[in-house]
Amino acid sequence: MSSHAIEIARGERFKFGENWSRFLSLLDDTRISEAEKSLRQMLEVENLEGKSFLDIGSGSGLFSLAARRLGARVHSFDFDPQSVACTAELRRRFFPDDSDWKVEEASALEADYVRSLGKFDVVYSWGVLHHTGQMWQALENAQLAVASGGKLFIAIYNDTGSQASRWKWIKRTYNNLPRMLRLPFTLAVIAPDEMKAMVRSVVTLKPQQYIHSWTRYESNRGMNRWRDIVDWVGGYPYEVATPEEIFDFYRARGFTLVKLRCGHVGLGCNEFVFEKNG
C-alpha cells in the first residue's frame, strides 16, 4: 500500500483527487479562461511563450492546462494518484500526445525528485504546500526548482491564531468520520456562515450578491464553490503561516517579493509571487 493510501486509511489525509475528479465534469471554456487570467495577472505577463512551468500539486490540472494554453512547457506532479489522473485526463483532452506537457506522481517533500527536474522559469503551487504535513520543508523544496530570475507563485493559508486551530480540529474530524457522515458534517460546518451571508444580502437589499457567490463563482480562478467548500472543510493535513513568515523565509533564500495578495483573506490563502535574484 502506498504512503498516500495509508494516510487516507488512517484518516490523516483528505482525498483531494477524488474531489478534483468531480470538478472535471464542470470544466468549461469560461473556467479555463479565468484560470489563464489569474496566471497572467499574478505573473504580470501576457503569455508564457518560451517559458517552462512547474506545477507542484497539480490537483485537477486546470492551471497546468492554463499554463500550457498560454504557451509554456509544463511539468505537473501530485502526491495524490487521482489528482495525477485528473491532470493526465486534461492533457489527453486538450493536448494529446504532447511532449511539452509531462505529468507524474511524486511528492513535494521529495527534495531529490524536485532537484532532478531541473530549473523552471515559473514554479507554481497554489494552496498545496500547507497540505503536505511538512509545510516548511515543502516550501524549502519548491524554491529548489526556480531558475535564476525565475518566479515562484505560491498561496498559503493565513494564520489567524485560535481560529485556524479550530479549523484544524474540524478538518481532522471530517477525515476521521465514516464516509456517510461527511456530507452532513460539511453542511453543518458551513451553515452558520452561509446563513449570515444570506441574511446580510437580504438586509442590505442586495440578495443577488449571495446568489452570485454561487452562480458566478467561476470568476474566482475558474473554480467551483461547492468543490472548494468540500476541499476547505476536509482539507487535511492543514498548516498556516503569516505573510511576514513567508516573506522572511524566502528573502533569506535570495528571493524578492514582486506581487502580494493578502488583504481581507481571513482563513483563506495569501498569494505571493517571488523572483529569484540573479
Tens of pLDDT, residues 84-113 = 999 999 999 999 999 999 999 999 999 999
Kindly state whether residues 219 and 257 are assigned to the same domain: no
- Asked whether residue 167 falls in the same domain as residue 229, the answer is yes
Q: In terms of pTM, does the model score above 0.75?
A: yes
Contacts of 14 (CB under 8 A, 6+ apart): 131, 171, 174, 175, 231, 234, 235, 236
Which carries the bigger pLDDT value, residue 119 or residue 262? 119
Q: Within this chain, do residues 146 and 205 fall inside the same structural domain, yes or no?
A: no
Q: How far is CA 158 from the centre of its chain?
A: 14
**Least reliable range by pLDDT among 1-5, 40-44, 260-264:** 1-5
Same domain (yes/no): 130, 218: no
Rounded Cα–Cα distance for residues 249 and 48 (Å): 27
Last residue of a domain, one of 234, 249, 265: 234
Q: Which residues of 167-182 are buried (b: 16+ CB within 10 A; e: fewer)?
A: beebbbbbbeeeeeeb
Kindly state whether residues 56 and 185 are assigned to the same domain: no
Are 262 and 270 contacting, i.e. CB atoms less than 8 angstroms apart?
yes
Q: Are residues 50 and 14 in the same domain?
A: yes
CATH number at residue 36: 3.40.50.150
Taking 70 as the threshold, does the pLDDT of residue 118 lie above it?
A: yes
d(CA 249, CA 246): 5
**Is the same domain home to 69 and 200?**
no
Range of the domain at 182: 162-234
Question: Are 14 and 67 within one domain?
Answer: yes
Q: Do 109 and 216 lie in a common domain?
A: no
Comparing 122-131, 158-167, 173-182, 261-270, the range with the smallest average pLDDT is 261-270
pLDDT at 9: 61
* Residues 149, 209 share a domain: no
Q: 127 and 35: one domain? A: yes
Number of domains in the chain: 2
Residue 11 has a pLDDT of: 62
Q: What is the pLDDT of residues 181-237, one digit of tens each?
A: 999 999 999 998 889 888 888 888 787 887 877 777 766 776 678 888 888 898 889
pLDDT of residue 173: 95
- Check whether residue 124 and residue 143 sit in a common domain: yes
